[in-house]
A = this chain, B = another copy of it.
């Protein structure tokens, strides 16, 4: 989170990572994604984030990889490979659900990338199985969190304070359980993005 002054400072130092678009500040959001993501858990928030002027960079194990959602409805091309990116180039992180997060957390590079956002207290938006990456990053102790019902015991064991709610906000960390929660997830995520620079 930056104060207005810090946001201003970042604008000059960090080559417009966060910049003003008309009268609205917008953010660069990193998305970690691979095959078997839950289609609408990527597409719906991505659409809303972009509609609000934020930019998304889809990061997978390699640049240009074509990723397919588990329903087969959504196809997404990776903008960057994990080797090419650094947390420092982004304002926020978005982790869609499905089986994608469990596949990604088998790769230590994604775990380390995610861990950096949590360490820096940057906005992190995780839905469904998304929080699995935060467990492996060992970043949930004492945090309010929710996730898909099958992972709620994992979240509790990881030290999270688990709430079975459509959206749970803990500082800059926003989490939701399932596709039905997407509208609440988007609303709180957009709220955090606006607050983080205003």
Contacts and interface: CB of A to CB of B under 8 A. Distances in A.
A68 interface: no
A142 interface: no
> Chain A interface secondary structure, helix, strand, loop or mixed?
helix
Given A99-B99, A157-B157, A157-B159, A106 B149 contact: yes
Interface residues of A, number: 19
A54 to B, nearest CB: 29
A105 B152 CA distance: 10
A153 interface: yes
A135 B148 contact: no
Interface string A79-106: 0000000000000000000010011011
Nearest to A149: B106
7 contacts: A99-B102, A106-B149, A135-B157, A154-B154, A154-B158, A157-B158, A157-B159
Interface of A: 99, 102-103, 105-106, 129, 132, 135-136, 138, 148-151, 153-154, 157-159
